[in-house]
Structure formats: structure tokens, C-alpha cells
Chain A
Amino acid sequence: MKFGVLQFPGSCDEVDALLAARRVGEAELIWHGERDLRGADAIVVPGGFSYGDYLRAGAIARFAPAMEAVIEFAESGGLVLGICNGFQVLCEARLLPGALLPNANLRFTFRQVELEVARPDTSFTSACARAAGTADETPVRLSIPAKHSWGRYHAEERTLDELEERGQVLLRYAPGQNFNGSLRDIAGVCNARGNVFGLMPHPEHAVDALTGSTDGLRIFESMRLTVEGAHV
């Protein structure tokens, strides 16, 4: 199982994502100017400020040569995870519905947030499910840090209804945790096919108890299970 982590000149969290991915498989960086995804089984579009994001977060990165390859990869069913700026890029590239707007408080905000796993049965969340036979039916919670200026998830009402009907909302901010004003507390959504997932919080920053929590590792672990399951 090999992750490819895109690297734009203004990426900040690409090495963090690389190290997180290496906890569950192999991983290497893919330079933004390259079209070759180097045989990666899954792609991570990491956090940061791809090309400075002076225009609109992710608006330029979607045109990067590497992103052209990622779009093809996604269209052929490959797993693509977008974190923070990566989520913004995937929305700009129309691989995911909706858009990210400036936070309700109009400030960059860093906070450890509690998330509820709305769908523990997807390619990106299967490792979040409770053990079979557990009586507890409340949503599984993940403690993961978020840090961004543009994280307020927005889509038309009709789109939001569709996302919920089709089960594309995978993560929500737990009650009281939605600091950025995202509609319907949405923290992460996938595409209709279920192979492209974007979220604003940073699972790659929750992979080691020493630095906070290990809950984010389950996202990477889920991806590994999906890829290795497909290979069997």
C-alpha cells in the first residue's frame, strides 16, 4: 500500500501527512509540477497554502500538472484524501461538491475539535467503527485539530439535502464544536462514488499520543484497509 502526497511550493503539512501515512503504509511526496503519480494506491492533497492562496484558497492549485493526474486518478476510482487546503483544492477542482468560505469569525483559528463519524462504513472511515456487538449506538467521536481561515463549508440547500440523502457527509463537528460556521456542522464530505474525501480538520496531526491524539490515524488506516481489501 503506497500513499502519494502532493507537494506544492506553499504546502505546509505535506511532511506531516507523509509521516502519518508511513505509519500505515509506504508514502512518498509528489512534486506539483509532475504528472506521474509514481504508482501510488491513494493520494493525499495536503494542507498549507499551495501557491500562496492570495487569490482564493486552492483556486490555482487545481490547475497544477499533478492535479491533472489526480483528477484522472479519481475518475478511475482511486482514493483521494484532501485535508484542509487539500479539501479546498478538491472543491475547486469539482471533485467534491460545495465550497469553503472564510470562517464565521473571519480569523485563522486553531482548535482541537471533537468530530462525530456520521458514516463509519466508508473507504475513509471504516476503521472508526465500533467493535461488532457493541451496544453503544451514539456516533463515534474523533478528537482532531483544525486550523484554517477558510473552513466554513457551504453548498446550496438542495445540494446539502442530496449529500445527506446519499450519505456523503462522513464527519460532522460535534455539538458546540463548529467554530467556523459550516452549514449543517459538516466537517468532511465525499463524492457520490465514495472515493474522494475532503475534510477541514487535520487527521495527520492526530497520529501520536505524544503530540495530542491518535484518532486521525484511523482515517489513514481506513484507506489502507480499502486499498488492501481491493487487492485481495
Chain B
Amino acid sequence: MSERPATADAPAGTEGEAEPPPTLADALTLGLTGAEYELICAKQGGPPNQVELAMYSLLWSEHCAYKHSKKLLRTLPTEGPHVVMGPGENAGAVDVGGGLVCAFKVESHNHPSAVEPFQGAATGVGGILRDIFAIGARPIAVLDSLRFGEPSGTRSRYLLDGAVAGIGHYGNSIGVPTVGGEVYFEAPYEQNCLVNAMALGLCPRERLVRSAAAGVGNLLVLFGASTGRDGIGGASVLASAELGDDEDKRPTVQVGDPFEEKKLLECSLELLQRGLVVALQDLGAAGLTSSAAEMASKGGVGIDIDVAKVPLREPDLEPFEVMVSESQERMLCVVTPRDLEQVLDLCEKWEVGGAAIGTVTETGRLHVYDGERLVGDMPVSALVDDCPLYDLAPAKPSEPIYPPPAATLAMDATPLQALLALLASPNIASRRPLFEQYDAIVQSRTVRRPEQADAAVLALPDSSALAVSIDCNGRRVAADPYRGTIEAALECAANLACVGAEPLGTTNNLNFGNPEKPHIAWQLTEAVRGLGEACRALEAPIVGGNVSLYNEGAAGPIYPTPVVGMVGRLPDAARAGRLGFAREGNAIALVGWDPQRGAPSLAASELAKLRGEPLPDGLPPFDVQRVIATQEAVRAAVRVGELSSAHDIAEGGLAVALAECCLANGLGARVELDALTRAPSADALGDDTPAGADRPNPSLPLPILFAEYPGRFLLSGPRAALEALAPQTSVEIVGVVTGAALEIALAGETLVATLAELAEAHRALAALFP
């Protein structure tokens, strides 16, 4: 048996022949600043010992303390009529009727995935699922939001293959369907990929459980997997600093075991169903340290933990290692002494380990024991609440941050060439090769699978349904963090509208670079301002989320990527909208087009990217209320049930949306767009077009075909049903569903693409997964 280091033997303040306690230099190595170390010494009444310093360094890390984002996050709307549980718990929850609540949250696992994509992504899914069942909800769906460099690069391919396989490995094995998601390929994500996972759960309202420890004398039971050395320092080492040479950080990435989590999930839900649990909390970043401190803080109590009682995967873990290990598939609960035996019996039934490792006290302190010896003693409030929060110093960059993308399409490409190039672009091509690797239907709730509709639809027991979407076009946020973020939230709501759902609540994951740099601070500040405004306007408050900063390396920062996930509800699952044209002879309507707005801009569009154009400084303005009114009209029309299809116009603009509607069921369309070239009024072309954006030019057909801006939809159905939307929004009947080709007549020319040509282009990603 190895000797324990003296520091672990020596509680704070005791003397002996011990090695000296850790120093300022050790604190700096763990990522704390000198001032933070001083503050810790003041809170502790002297230098912290090894256990204490390790625990402080994690809880005071960016990842756990949100020290650069917390002040901004306080500006977001978090309350609304549907909100049952807001930010601060393991996940937020909204009321969905019928006595049920939907718990949901998005979380990132970016840095682990950049170091080891398979396990990084897998444990990202595992972590977000635990957040959902930690509040008592059965996970019913996963969505993922992924960002990589261009798929032609070998590093991007490695990260993409690993991340997709890892998500599938975990989600498929645990029996939770992956029902949707998004993926973008852009050079700024080449080194620092993004892996965000969102999960939803359902539970009866009265069975929601919180994480506040309560009842002095109650016991803490750690259950699930045993504790090992994996993931030590994951939160502070990986997630709270820029990426560097990360080969040697691979051991800080945790390893996932979905079978263990499946048992843990069922065991947790049965514990709750039988009323055996006072409080429940999952173990994520910073492991036992974070979960115990959070539970104590929320309950206003103290906790004593004995690390000697923690079941270990390998012998001889130091007390600090036990406290900071990020071994996966573990939960912590508070139970009464009377119920302990039943709790442990249930753990045995589900073949998960379970051990009473501590007690709830009235001290307000976190005591760590190793058997009889006190090896750590900290005020809970110091650990959880006293980490300094930092003001950002935002400054709009004077120079462009991002180099222009590499051109892959000639400026003089014909509209047909541009359409086919767009359909084959990695950001637009069919995601089938990816989503086919996920089980989208387990649990028998999936009413709309990927590529059937703009949002995933999940049936509820009372014949209504949930709808969910996750979105963010980072390139547009990079061009204009404020408007780009509003667009991301509106895009989610547009997707919900297309299936007939109205938003209930929002979750978000703010993925940004180093916030200590003024230009990143500016991106973050502007994005949060936009997010707050959009969520207020949509009446879709933020119920929880996550912040991932320092997403940059030697090559620069990622595009600012405030991923937005939105959950909505529709009254009749059977009437959920579909995106594809479905009936020969149906009329096709462009809805939400604003004739007063002037010719649309190609700025920051996918076409601009393919042409290698630099990002504009700012996006064209738009009227948020007008966009929301259009969404409401579309939602209402879908709910009536007379439309055949509803599709939001997004990346690639109108022409790509038309092609997507054709490809869904293999039906062609004949479309005439000259009505869109009507000369706009003079002031609509006025001075609010930002510098760097394309000057509107009504004579050019390309912006009509390929411009991107929020608030437009393509609907198909009987002409009368389409025209019925006219009082609420603009409706332009542009064509008819017919034939085996997409024909678009515009400005005296007709673009003709056969369905076979379109499908061939749209299959471009299949080559990545032979």
C-alpha cells in the first residue's frame, strides 16, 4: 500500500512533519488567479490544503462558476406562464398540459470532443441525460448541435466520425431516441469542434425533484458506477482554457458506459417513484465536489463526506482525487436513515453500486473525511457563491476577425450551377448519412422523424404533441452577433411553426472564444442581448442552459455560436406539419415575403460563403414583430390541417427551400417568381443597409433565389387554404406541385433541374460515410 501524502493527512491548520501545503504556484497551475488564491486564503483563514485547493480550483473554474458570463446571463428572461422550473436546477421544465412537465436542457462537451471525439461526444450525451433524470423526468429525446471544419480536412473527418459514432453509441444503447439536430461545417471550427447535446424528458408535475439537500441527519447515498481516476481536472483543465497541444490531455476525457447509465436511469426513476429520495443530483463536471457543494448550498446546510466509503474502481485514490474525479454514470441522493435499506436494495435490483458516504449537517460547511481524519474543511458558501464574477470589457473589433472562406463556386456561376452547388454544400446537403446512425423512434413517440418536418414532433399521451428544434448559424452570428442570435431564436420558432407548435420555453448553449479578449466579450454581450430580446418577443423564456468559453486555439476563435434549443406544443399530433410537397396539383405559396423590404441581400448567405466572400460587417435589419406575426399565421394554418406542407426558408434561400420541398417526396414543381422583382419603394432601399452588405439590386435574380433572411415560408396545399392566410401575412402564390423537375421562371429565364439532379447533389455527404 502506498503512503498517502502528508498534506492529505494534515487537516487545515494542523502542524506535523507534513510536506508543505500547496502554494500560490500550485493554485496558478490549477487555473486560479493570484487574487482568487488570496481570496480563498481569506475565506479559509489560511492557505488551503491539497484537497481544499483542488476543490476550490474546480468550483471556481469558468466551467463551474460562470465567472465571465453570470452577470450577462442575469439579463435573460426566465419567467413565463409555462415555466415550472427555471435556471439553477439540473434542467429547466415547462408545463405541457395533462399534468405533465417537459424537462429540457442543452449542454456542451466541446473540449473533450476536440481531444477525443468518440468518448467526448458519448459522455456529453450521458451527462445531459443525467441532468434530465436528476429532476425526476424520463428522458424521451436527444438532439445534437455539431460544428466541425470543412469535411474535406482529415482532422474534421476524424472529429465528425468520432463524434457521430459516440453520440449514436450512447443514445442508441440507452434507449433514448435522437430525433433531430444540426451540423455546420466552417473553417473556424477546424481545431475546436463543438458538440452540444440537448435532451428532453417527461414527468408528472408532482414528481419533479430538486437538488437541495435537506434534513439534518439525513444520509448522502452515492450510487451508480464506482469512482476512478478518469476525467480528473476535466472541468478546469479542459473547459476553462484555450485549446493547445491536447494529446496529453486525453486522460482527462471521461469514458462513458451507456449500459451503466441505463441501469442508473431506471434505478433513479424507481427511487423517485417509490418516494425514497429527498433530493437528487447528478455528478458531472467536478464530480463529487460540485454535486455535494451544490446540494448543500441550495439547501442551506452542511455536508460531511467520508471518501473512504466511496466505492473505488482502483485502489489508492487520494482523497482529492475521489473528490474531483469525473467518473461517469454516478448520482448522489439524500435519503432518510429509515429508507436507507430500501434504497440500497433497489440499487442491488438494478445492479448499480450504492453506498452511504455522508450526512447532512447544520454546520454550513463541507467537511471531507478520510475515515476518521478530517482532510478538508470549507464553508459551503465560499465554495459555491464567493467566486469573483468578472465584468467583461467588450469592444467591437476594428478589423475583421475571420478570414474569408475559400471560394468553391465561381462568381459567374449560373443559377442552376449555384443551386446544385448549394444543395451539395456540406451545410445544406442531406443529413441522412448522419441521422441514420441514430435510433430516432425508440419509445414509440416520434411522430415526425428527421427530414420529415422542420421540427421533431413527439406525441404526448393526450393526443397533443411536443415539438423541438435546435439551431444556430454561426456564420451569421459572426457577421452580426446581435441580429444573428435573434435569427437563431426566430429560426427555432419558425421550425416549430411549420409543424403547428407554439414555443413554450428555450434553452441555450453559448459557445464562444476567450471572453477576456475584448472582441470576444463584444460578441458575447451582443449575442446575449439579442437572445434576451428574441426570447421576450417570442414569449419563450430561457429555462436553463450552458456556457462554453475559451473555444479557440492558435488559429483563432470559433464563430460565436449561441445555440438555441426551443420546445413547443401543438394541440393535435395527427396534424403535425410536414416539409415536403405531397400532392400533385397543389398550389405553392411564398408566405412572409415583404414587398416593401426591397431586394434581399446575399450577405453572409451560404452562396456568399461558396463564392469566398468575406463576412459583412452587420446583417440587414428586419422587423421581429412582423416575423413573429408570420410565424403565428403559419402555425394557425398548419393546425387547421388543410395544408400539405410547410417549410421554413433558411440556408440557401428560396430556391434551396423549393428543392428540399421537392426532394422530400420526389414531387416536382413549376414556379414563377417575377412577382418578387417588383420595384420596391425608395425608402425600403434606404440607409439602414449596413456597410459591407450587398447593395440591393432588383435586376439580379440571384438574391431572389438564394438570399437568406428570417420570416419566410413555403407552403403547399389547396389554393383557397393558402390564400386564407392573407389577412395575417403576405401570401404570394408562386407555383404548382407537378412533374419530375423543379422549374423556376424568373426574369425571362427558366431554371430547370430534374429531381434526379437535385437528389444527386443533395446526397453529397453520403460520400463521407461509405
Contact = CB atoms under 8 A, between A and B. Distances in A.
Interface of A: 9-13, 15-16, 19-20, 48-49, 51-54, 105, 107-111, 145, 147, 149, 202, 204-205, 207-208, 210-212
Contacts of A12: 172-175, 262, 439, 442
A211 to B, nearest CB: 6
Nearest to A206: B441
Given A10-B173, A108-B168, A108-B172, A147 B259 contact: no
B402 interface: no
A110 B573 contact: no
Contact of B259 (A54, A110, A205): A54
Contact of A16 (B169, B174, B440, B442): B442
A52 B175 contact: no
B441 A107 contact: no
Interface in B740-770: 769-770
A29 B634 CA distance: 43
Given A52-B259, A109-B436, A147-B172, A211 B165 contact: no
A10 B264 CA distance: 11
B744 to A, nearest CB: 31
A9 B769 contact: no
A151 to B, nearest CB: 13
Given A9-B259, A9-B263, A109-B437, A52 B447 contact: no
A148 B435 CA distance: 13
A110 B173 CA distance: 13
A33 B435 CA distance: 35
B417 interface: no
Interface string B242-267: 00000000000000011110110010
Contacts, number: 88
6 contacts: A12-B262, A13-B175, A54-B259, A105-B770, A147-B442, A208-B444
A9 B266 contact: yes
A22 B438 CA distance: 27
Q: Which has the most chain B C-beta neighbours within 10 Å: A9, A16, A19?
A: A9
Contacts of B168: 107-108
B366 interface: no
A15 B459 contact: no
Given A9-B263, A211-B459, A52 B441 contact: no
A9 B447 contact: no
Nearest to A147: B439
Contact of A205 (B174, B175, B263, B444): B444
B137 to A, nearest CB: 16
B574 interface: yes
B351 interface: yes
A111 B573 CA distance: 22
B596 interface: no
Contact of A48 (B175, B444, B573): B175
Contacts of B257: 52
A49 B439 CA distance: 13
Contacts of A51: 259
Contact of B443 (A15, A20, A107, A145): A15
Contacts of B573: 210
Contact of A107 (B165, B446, B574): B165
Given A107-B165, A107-B769, A211 B172 contact: no
A15 to B, nearest CB: 7
Given A12-B172, A205-B444, A211-B447, 12 more contacts: A49-B259, A49-B262, A51-B259, A52-B260, A108-B437, A108-B439, A110-B435, A145-B441, A147-B441, A149-B172, A202-B441, A210-B574
Contacts of A212: 441, 449
Contacts of A111: 436
A107 B160 CA distance: 14
A11 B165 CA distance: 20
A205 B449 CA distance: 13
B445 interface: yes
A15 B262 CA distance: 14
A207 B439 CA distance: 17
Nearest to B435: A110
A144 to B, nearest CB: 11
A149 B770 CA distance: 15
B194 to A, nearest CB: 22
A103 to B, nearest CB: 11
B350 interface: yes
B446 A211 contact: yes
A96 B179 CA distance: 33
Interface in B416-442: 435-442
Nearest to A19: B444
A175 B315 CA distance: 56
Q: Which has the most chain A C-beta neighbours within 10 Å: B259, B262, B438, B444?
A: B444
Nearest to A11: B175
A110 B444 contact: no
A205 B173 contact: no
Contacts of A204: 444
A208 B447 CA distance: 10
The 6 A-B pairs of least Cβ separation, nearest first, read A12-B175, A52-B259, A16-B444, A147-B439, A49-B173, A10-B259
A16 B173 contact: no
Nearest to B175: A12
A213 B65 CA distance: 48
A110 B441 contact: yes
A197 to B, nearest CB: 21
Q: Which has the most chain A C-beta neighbours within 10 Å: B437, B459, B770?
A: B437
Contacts of A211: 441, 444-447, 459
A10 B262 contact: yes
Contacts of B769: 105, 107
A26 B330 CA distance: 36
A16 B443 CA distance: 6
A192 B684 CA distance: 77
B614 to A, nearest CB: 38
A110 B574 contact: no
Contacts of A110: 435-441
Contacts of A145: 441
Q: Which has the most chain A C-beta neighbours within 10 Å: B350, B351, B443?
A: B443
Contacts of A205: 441-442, 444
A212 B444 CA distance: 10
A49 B169 CA distance: 11
Interface string B167-183: 01100111100000000
A210 B447 contact: yes
Given A13-B442, A109-B436, A110-B441, A210 B459 contact: yes
Contacts of A149: 172
Nearest to B448: A211
Contacts of A108: 168-169, 172, 437-439
Contacts of A48: 175
A16 B140 CA distance: 13
Contacts of A13: 175, 442
A213 B441 CA distance: 12
B631 to A, nearest CB: 25
Nearest to A50: B259
Nearest to A16: B444
A48 to B, nearest CB: 6
Contacts of B459: 210-211
Nearest to B432: A111
A204 B126 CA distance: 26
A107 B441 CA distance: 17
A201 B437 CA distance: 15
Q: Which has the most chain B C-beta neighbours within 10 Å: A12, A51, A105, A208?
A: A12
Nearest to A208: B444
Contacts of B440: 110
